[in-house]
Amino acid sequence: MVQNILSNYSEVFRQQKLEGHISPGPVITISRECGCSAKRIATKLSKILTGYSYLSETKTDVEWRWISKEILEEASNELEMDPNHVKNVFLSERKVPLEEVTSAFSTEKVYDADDQKVIETVGTVIRSFAIAGHQIIVGRGGEILSQGITDRLAIRLEAPLDWRVNRIMQISSLSHSDARDYVIEIDRQRDLFVEHIAGRKVNNSDFDLIFNYSTMLDDHIVDAIVSVLKNRQII
């Protein structure tokens, strides 16, 4: 599965070189545990990095953007498939009752042929975005699918389970028990999907930065990311 995606990536990269885009990236990926707001970090980061591009020595006006649902929309277009079917492969993209989440995932996830086609297309779309550069990719195994790109920073947002459960309770009508079940199942769902893409369990070595979201403000996380990007001369 992942070999097919990497093969597709190589072809896209070759085409990009023919069109004059020699170096892929820069790209940032953000993985998160359920209850950690990657979108808030990505939104702030995209605005700040766009500002840096305006002030750079090259004076190149480049807009950084963060993408999430756009990946699924692009995949739907390429597959000429109902967007809802694509979203169904990524259960957390839909607002679903807790019982549907828990019934859809147990100890493993079995993907059918249509699912495999969706996953492969989504993977190719992610690689294409990563090659194009100046993208912040939220979720969907971006840390795996962007490996091999030099100007890449892979970020992980984590927090203690109890903290995340309480946060889900604050933004939903779920009880403590239901919120805990929901968080655990969504985490498991995401882990199983990325393991399916990678062909192995993902571990800390797949990320460049891991933040405890419960102890840091969004602005502090963004500042730390920008500092690392500067030090690594990605920006």
What are the pLDDT digits (tens) for 49-78? 988 766 555 556 678 988 877 776 777 777
Residue 42: CB atoms within 10 A of its CB come to 24
What pLDDT is stored for residue 67 in this prediction?
81
What pLDDT is stored for residue 179 in this prediction?
92
What pLDDT is stored for residue 104 in this prediction?
47
Residue 93: CB atoms within 10 A of its CB come to 18
What pLDDT is stored for residue 175 in this prediction?
92
Percent of the chain at pLDDT > 90 equals 38
Q: 2-10+23-214 sits in which CATH class?
A: alpha beta
Cα–Cα distance list, 144 to 6, 198, 213 (Å): 10, 6, 21
Quote the tokens at residue 183.
Answer: 């968080």
Give the residue ranges of the chain where pLDDT is below 50.
Answer: 1-7, 9-10, 13, 17-18, 20-22, 93-95, 102-107
What are the tens digits of pLDDT across the range 187-209?
988 888 888 888 888 899 999 99
